[in-house]
Amino acid sequence: MRLRHVMLWIPLCACLAACASVHDRGWSGEGATPFDTAQATCDAEAAPKPAGREREAAFDACMARHGWKRP
């Protein structure tokens, strides 16, 4: 009976661990839009802003709306 419980918990824990993800560029997101989709959307949204801090701030705000945050 004990082995049966362990065998049920392993997949459950694996599924829960998959809910939070970390992208290799240091971004982290829980329940977030897929990273590549969010990045493409936010690149397009931030592109009209002047290069530098204003563009980076717009990009970061957009990524946050999609569930991604920098460390």
Q: What is the pLDDT of residues 3-54, one digit of tens each?
A: 565 455 566 444 434 444 556 568 999 889 999 999 999 999 999 999 999 9
pTM over 0.95: no
Instruction: Tell me the three state secondary structure of residue 71.
Output: coil
Are the beta carbons of 30 and 21 closer than 8 angstroms?
A: yes
Q: List all residues 6 or more positions away from 17 whose beta carbon is below 8 Å from its beta carbon.
A: none
Alpha carbon 3 to its chain's center: 34
- What are the residue ranges of helices labelled H in 1-71? 2-19, 35-46, 53-65
